[in-house]
Amino acid sequence: MKTQLTTVAVSALLALSTTAALAETTVDSCNRQVTFDAPPKAAISNDVNLTEMMLVLGLADRMVGYTGISGWKTLDEEMRAGVEELPELSAKYPSKEVLIGADADFFFAGWNYGMKVGGEVTPETLAPFDIKVYELTESCIHIGEKDAASMDDMYNDIQNLGAIFDVKDKADALVDGYKADLAAFTDGLAPLETAPRVFVYDSGEDTPFTAGRYAMPNALIEAAGGTNIMNDLEKSWAKVGWEPVVERNPEVIVIVNYGNVTAEEKRAFMMNNPAFAEMDAVKNDRFVTLEYIEATPGPRNIAAVKTLAEAFRAK
């Protein structure tokens, strides 16, 4: 009898251990692995594109708020409807106190998307308060090496969020749909004789802020059939001088629309500046606008590729 009880007890312990192991989920987040014993119940996302990733996965009811939107950007009607029940806890980057005060257990952010290297809010500073962090894949270049930006960066984030929140089937279905949609679109495109030279104009007049090889527009431009003239810039988003832009003579200029300076004002600055008069994109008035939410990693990247592909082929 004693042996039988011991055997039963061991079996029970093994069963409990197996159940606990099955409940754990581990994902790669930049240079770390993050393990979750259960899906988060009090999540916070930073920035409009990361918040939309949460929304397309149906995770609004697992969130206690969002941060980092109204300080720079506005929400369109679709996004407003998605977050109407949620408070914006900070107009720009949140402080550690904001996240702790909301009783958060999860923060979806990135480097320069709500966190700064060596700043107050990092995975390490939040760990003592049981707030786990998943980092936006595109942003990992700020703390280590990674490949050039690709569509897989966005797909990876959607699928990792699916694993973290136990909605893997939904995440996989979304990613499969994005891939199929993009493939069907690009397969039907008229071929280009040569890849157009493209410059991404985010902001700045004295020195432009643009997208290097590790920023999402680099992937969007390539997927649409173009070449980012700054694809040798070993950074994500960064300032450059106007001289290399003029020298590389872009045929198309992509304007990222957000902030106090409108896309039309950015276009007017370039069209009216004598220094840019001989630039092919300016001579032919070939500008295309992407909203910030389209130019940064998120569900609207597929629409962004379509917009760019059509602009590259316009006469």
Q: How far apart are CA 86 and CA 108, in angstroms?
A: 15
Do 216 and 153 form a contact (C-beta atoms < 8 A)?
A: yes
CA distances from 41 to 27, 60, 80, 281 (A): 17, 10, 21, 49
Residue linked to tokens 């939107």? 69
Residue linked to tokens 């592909």? 309
Q: Is the pLDDT of residue 145 over 50?
A: yes
- Phi and psi of 113, rounded to 5°? -130, 60
Identify the band that residue 75 occupies on the pLDDT scale cut at 50, 70 and 90: confident
Q: What is the mean pLDDT of residues 32-50?
A: 97
Q: What is the mean pLDDT of residues 34-41?
A: 97
pLDDT digits (tens, 9 = 90+) for 83-103: 999 999 999 999 999 999 999
Beta bridge partners, 27, equal 34
Q: How far apart are CA 206 and CA 219, in angstroms?
A: 26
pTM over 0.75: yes
Beta bridge partners, 253, equal 199, 287
Q: How far apart are CA 290 and CA 296, in angstroms?
A: 10
Q: Is the pLDDT of residue 16 over 70?
A: no
Domains and CATH numbers, the chain: 20-180 (3.40.50.1980), 192-313 (3.40.50.1980)
Q: Is the pLDDT of residue 13 over 80?
A: no
Q: What was the pLDDT predicted at 126?
A: 98
Identify the band that residue 21 occupies on the pLDDT scale cut at 50, 70 and 90: very low
